[in-house]
Structure 1
Amino acid sequence: MFFVDTVEVPGLGNRSYLAGGARTAVAVDPPRDIDRVIAAAARSGVRISHVVETHLHNDYVSGGLDLARVTGAAYLVPADARVSFERTPVRDGDTTVVDPAAGLLLRALATPGHTPHHTAYVLEEHGAPVAVFTGGSLLIGTVGRPDLVEPRLTARLARAQHASAHRLADTLPDGTAVLPTHGFGSFCSSATATDGGGTIGAQKSSNEALIHDVDRFVADLLAGLDDVPAYYTHMGPANAAGPAPVDLAPPASADADEIAARLAAGEWVVDLRNRVAFAAGHVAGSYNFEADGQLATYLAWLIPWGRPVTLLGESAGQLAAAQRELVRVGIDRPAAAATGGPAAWLREGEAPASFPRAVFDDLARIHPREGVVVLDVRRTTERAGGFVPGSVHLPVHTLHRRLGEIPAGQVWVHCASGMRAAVAASLLDATGRDVVAVDDVFRADRPW
């Protein structure tokens, strides 16, 4: 008998896996915070004998090298991936015994497309395929995006994705479980994942790569690609160099004077509280990235890389969870942190800043009106499905560089559901703009 445990990384839209038998197991594409994988192995009573990577990741810092060091496991990395550390190179067709007693082995299948060296791993039990770890190749209903390596390779890699998806579908039985790393909200996915089913057979009738011919598939895929998160630039090199072990020790505590000094020095002070609480009262100049939102993705996307960050949270637990999220994208050590609320974070005599919240019905009552600017911070592909007439469009990840493009007036900022609008409102509020955060679900069919 075999097992497969899933280690969810929802903030990044990824999954890692631990698969094995009664004694030993393999970890697939582990996150940077390896203690979660080690805990999963302990719960199953197995030793991690192998750690494998499907590719050098562009969207997060891998925990694979550190996990292999800590556990003594063999570290399997595609042979053509250029890395600066010792590893076991894997080539197409290579097999690795995972648990001899359970008859479990991994078979490597070259599946280029997401990267040129991408490799999927078929888990076989007594010679029969039972699951395939597809990384960023065949996802649920879609494939991994092919434009993260080099722009000149994008079209070629898109065609390779189509061929790799068909190789998996043609090679494996319909009942084989498809277990991708990306595609659960990850920006490494070329499109939104569907509910077509997690087996090879189900994907044959629902996955765009397996339904369409290569020319239509490539044309649709390339047309649907949106901006790449800026921090991706730093992930591949970090993984190739060999990431350092994680340090999750609590950061130094900051009092009100230190918070003010860090703001004055141009550092980022990030308030992790929910957007309702932030709008009601916050430290002037701080930014709101909700701990329960896509914290790592959007903070890492917007912050100038390497800029010190101080975290403000409601509790030590909220700070610890945020710190764990951030190490996964290479923001390793907050400069400082504080808990509580504005009363504890403001110096004596200072008052909290605030701004109003609204819904789209409120906006409809005053739009259009002279002196009111409607700012849409959704991505370009989202706006293509409908928008508020006369609105200014600046995707949230570009906003901090384009503040000068926003016309004068009171800015009503919206996204699709409120989270990114809150980020944008905090950026605008920090510059002294008169801002209203529209905290509501956007409907393209609303009459304006």
Structure 2
Amino acid sequence: MSGQTPGAGEPLKGLPPEQLPPVSGPLTGGESATSPKADDFAPAPRQNVFLKELLRSNWVTTLLAIVAAVIVGGILMAVTNKEVQTASVYFFSRPGDTFVAIWNSVYGGYEALFRGSIFNARADDFLTQIRPLTNTLGFAAPLIAAGLGVGLAFRVGLFNIGARGQILIGCAVAALLTFNLDLPMFLQLPVTLAAGIAGGAIWGGIVGLLKARTGAHEVILTIMLNYVAIYLVQWMVRTPGVLQRPSGGQPISAATPANAQFPELFGPRFPLLDWGFVVVIGATVFVWWLVERSSLGFRLRAVGENPHAARASGISVQRMYIYAMLFAGGLAGLAGMNQIQGAVTTGFDSTIDAGIGFDAITVALLGRSRAWGVFAAGLLFGALKAGSFTMQASQGIPVDIVLVVQSLIVLFIAAPPLIRTIFFLPKTDAEKAAKARAKAAKKAVMS
């Protein structure tokens, strides 16, 4: 029977390997006519791919960072509320009182924030109801201008934290050169505006020039020039014949001439909103065009992405640094002009920036250093500032809570993996690759 061909039901023993039937399947790693192939699987639905990419986007991460900061801010409101503290003493006997107190504190706080920054439904007429929105726009204008300058520098790889000094010098130059001209308004106003922008640009250009020629780090330069600007303006407003107000010995400058002030945009019922906001919108359009559409903007972005590759392709990196800081300083000077030509026209001293110089860093980070992103971030921070006063007045919530919310927004923006972990968002390809590398390195060490 050894020479007989085996039947279908007989065992295939004794045959050489080349005469054995092929064996394949999912457990062998081979493929057969009936085993599924990689190409046999249908691709993921397009809506799933779109949703996954949407959840990975920067806009979703930014929005959820704001949501997370608002949640933490609500917790702080509840913890610091006296009614919540009182009700929590007998929580186990009457827990409902505690939850009601928590709801009242959080809802009351954010309702006051909305009422003070967007729309006040308690007012008698429509114009008074929308006044909070105009206050928000007025507070946002200098934040947007300075944030555009910081964001533009970020796009070129420069960390400009000298907006405060650039604002101060812009105000000082405008006051020195234009306050005593006594020109008609159609000349005095633009001349004052141009002088302030030029002053800020010069102060920022010093940083760019030193960075380009000596390689000095822009962070150190801007920090030191901030102090130089602060003490220089303090000396100016204390010295008669320089910037000190002629009548009296107070350390404050003369008031901004009436013909150099921005006119109110919608009349005296909305005093905080003037034509400076329109100028800021124009500056936003200009920065967007400059960075995203112009050939100079392409070179600036190339330097920001990789200065060595930009230099190898023939771009003058040093020149781009100077240009970037000139633009950044000029935009900070525009923020200063929004202060002395709009918000504070009775005279200024070394505190005229009102923290705008450092808030601009936060605005630029939140806006991802994009022109319209910075514009939206400035509106958000303007709303927080406008609404904080109503929160404090009507609910007794400290303004510091709003500052905490602002800080938390930046914290969460700076840590996108944390946001994706909190809200169970899909990880990016870069995060997956980093996790795989870490896992492989750990496995190699253990082996």
Normalized against structure 2, the TM-score is what?
Answer: 0.23
Bigger-Rg structure (1/2):
2
* Higher RCO by CA contacts (8 Å cutoff, separation 6 or greater): 2
More strand per residue: 1
Normalized against structure 1, the TM-score is what?
Answer: 0.23
